[in-house]
Amino acid sequence: MAKMRTMELLVGAFMAAGFVALFFLAMKVSNLSAGAGGNGYRIQARFDNVGSLKVRSPVNIAGVTVGRVESIALDQDSFQAVVTLRIDPAFDQIPADTFANIYTAGLLGEQYIGLDPGGSLDNLVDGGQVEHTQSALVLEQIIGQFLFSKAEEG
């Protein structure tokens, strides 16, 4: 009887550990990990179209995640999307003339912001703004332009 009880406890502990591991895996995949805090500095970038960019999307430089998208809002005067990026404090040497581009990663179409550093001696600081941006490519617009150009040809 004691042997059966020990076996049941071990199986239960193994199952609990499996559920905890699945929970952390799900949090990591969905970019909702518990370690995502409010440290770092904020910069803003304005885009004409953010596509399906979401809050918590990664911000990368050369493929390395340096921050996350903190918020996305609409400027009702210019009708541009204002994206606030929270950059990790370890990356405080980003040049002021950096370009911000919205890219698509993978087959599922997850979008992220890629920063291409410029050559300025001045750096972006908390509350700064990225002046040079390139909006997301919308597949429907590209297909529409292609079809329209083919229709004009003949």
Digit-coded pLDDT (tens) for 35-61: 445 688 999 999 999 988 999 999 999
Q: How far apart are alpha carbons 44 and 85 in whole angstroms?
A: 6
pLDDT digits (tens, 9 = 90+) for 98-129: 999 998 887 677 889 999 998 888 888 898 89
The pLDDT value given to residue 31: 59
Q: Write the DSSP string, 80-131.
A: EEEEEEEE-TT----BTT-EEEEEEETTTTEEEEEEE----SSB--TTEEE-
Pairing of strands 41-47, 80-87: antiparallel
- For residue 34, pLDDT beyond 50: no
Residue of 76, 73, 80 whose CA lies nearest to 133: 80
Tell me the pLDDT band of 138, cut-offs 50, 70 and 90: confident
Distance (Å, whole) CA 154 – CA 150: 7
Residue 47: what pLDDT?
A: 93
> CB-hemisphere CA count at 13 Å for 135?
13
State the DSSP H helix or E strand holding residue 14, giving kind and residue range, or none if neither. helix 2-29
How far is CA 63 from its chain centroid? 12
Residues above pLDDT 90, as percent of the chain:
44
pTM of this structure: 0.69
